[in-house]
Amino acid sequence: MPDSPGYSAEQQAEEARLRGLLLELSTTVSTHAFWQTLSGPELVAARMELKQSTLDPADTD
């Protein structure tokens, strides 16, 4: 199998943009004041609920 030519400059720029956006949004959610209102099992349950709500139903088969 021949070596992959890698990403084009456009693909690299798009990947960097998306990674930056992911970091920004993850930080926004994880540092939101709402999380300070919970503790212990409540906090774990809320984070699990958030995680489950973002799953694509097609991926759960």
Each residue's pLDDT tens digit, 22-39:
999 999 999 999 999 999
Q: For residues 30 and 22, give the distance between their C-alpha atoms in angstroms, rounded to a whole number.
A: 12
Percent of the residues in the chain that have a pLDDT greater than 70, as a whole number: 87
Sign of CA dihedral 48, 54, 57, 61: negative
pLDDT number for residue 1 = 54
- Per-residue pLDDT band at 2 (split at 50, 70, 90): low
Q: For residues 27 and 55, give the distance between their C-alpha atoms in angstroms, rounded to a whole number.
A: 19
Characterise 27 by phi-psi region: left (phi > 0), alpha (psi -120 to 50), beta (else).
alpha
Q: Is the pLDDT of residue 9 over 90?
A: no
Radius of gyration of the chain (CA): 18
- Per-residue pLDDT band at 60 (split at 50, 70, 90): low
- Which position has the token pair 């209102």? 37
